[in-house]
Structure formats: C-alpha cells, structure tokens
Structure 1
Amino acid sequence: MFLKPQCLLRSRISMASRERLIHQYVRETFPDRNSDPLPNTWTAPLDALHGHVRHLRRDAAIRLVQMARGGPRASAGRYLGIPPGPLHATTLKVRTWQKVPDNAKAYQEALRQVAEIAVSEGRRGS
C-alpha cells in the first residue's frame, strides 16, 4: 500500500482525506506526469471557446480517439486512461455548455482545427 505514513498513524481517516493524500503522493512521486490528454500545441482552438478548458480538452481528446479508432466514449476514455467518473463529468459539462447558442457549432469547428493540427504535426514528425 502506498499511503503516506500519516495515514498509518491515524486510527480513522475519512475517504476524502485518504483520496487527497493519494493524489498528493502521486503528484510528489511522479512530478512529470501530465494529466492533460492533449499536447498544448494542439489546444489553441479550444482555449478560444470560453468554456471550461479542462473539460473541453478532455472531451476533444476523447473525440479524436473515437475518430481515429472508432468505438464508444467509454472505450476512448479507457484508451486515454480517463476513469469513468471524470469521463461522465466531462460529458455532462460539455453537453450542457454546448446547449448555449453557437457553442456546439464553434466546438465542432475547433475540433476540426485540432484534428488538422494533429495530422500536420504527425506528418512533420514522420
């Protein structure tokens, strides 16, 4: 078990505290781990949308995987290492955000631009 020593010294610890300590441990142990599924160079079109950036980036990564590999969102999320909870939260946030007039159309255009950037960088890299 990889809990911090302060967990072992306490007779009782809440699940919220335990989860916080686990996340802290992972951040300290693996500082180079980036939770953002898209490279920063790809995200300029998404950052201009004035939505919740983390959810838009995560949803864009899921959709790009779906475009490339096919399959449902859950499979794309597993492929990216996104747990079911954050996957569901992202889906709800982005769908709610898209209900605002013109957001859905702007998001589709931004996804198209992100895909073009990904393809052009892939061609340069090979």
Structure 2
Amino acid sequence: MAPDAAQLARGQQIYARCAGCHAIEGHRTGPQHCGLFGRRAGTAPGFDGYSPAMKASGIVWDERTLQRFLKDPPATVPGTSMGYAGVKDDGERAALIAWLRQATQPGSACTLR
C-alpha cells in the first residue's frame, strides 16, 4: 500500500531526529541516505566512519531490515557505532521508512556522490 501525504509528512518530521548525524545528501557524522534502499550496509561511497560490525553485518537495506535496525540498532548490529537507541514506536518507524524510501531514491531529491 502506497503511503499517503500525512504519513510522508510524519516521516519527514521524524527524520529531523536523524539529521544531527545524517543527511539525505552528503555525509555528516553518519553516512548520507541517498541511495539507501538496496545498498549493502557499510558501503556508502566516500564514507569512512563505519564500524567493523556494520561492514560485516551483511545487511542490505530494505523495509524489513530498516524496521529491525531502526527499532534497536545496538541489538541488530552489536558493535555499531550508531549511538541512537532507535525508533521504538511502530507507526513512527513505518512513517520514517516510507519517507526515506521516497526521499532517498536517486533522481528524486538526492544525487549520489
């Protein structure tokens, strides 16, 4: 089912929590999210700050893996350097992931660098 405008707006608001370390375009403390879906964890081009645990996780980012990781990053990837406890609310996570899917597609609002 396609997300509606309200869910996407909610997801964008929730993403503000991520913006201290991440951006859609350009690396910050954490890697950029442009091109996130379908990318193997620990492989954003030009980002060198991944933990060995993230590089070795074998995760490929999609709705399922993002649901699991964003709920509890340290439990999903023990040893991750991401110091965020996660998005515990199922509805908030779903809205965030729906917005990320739309916002991170190359050619939408982001350009892979």
Taking structure 2 as the reference length, the TM-score comes to 0.39
RCO greater where, 1 or 2, for CA within 8 Å and sep 6 or more? 2
Q: Give the structure with the larger helix fraction.
A: 1
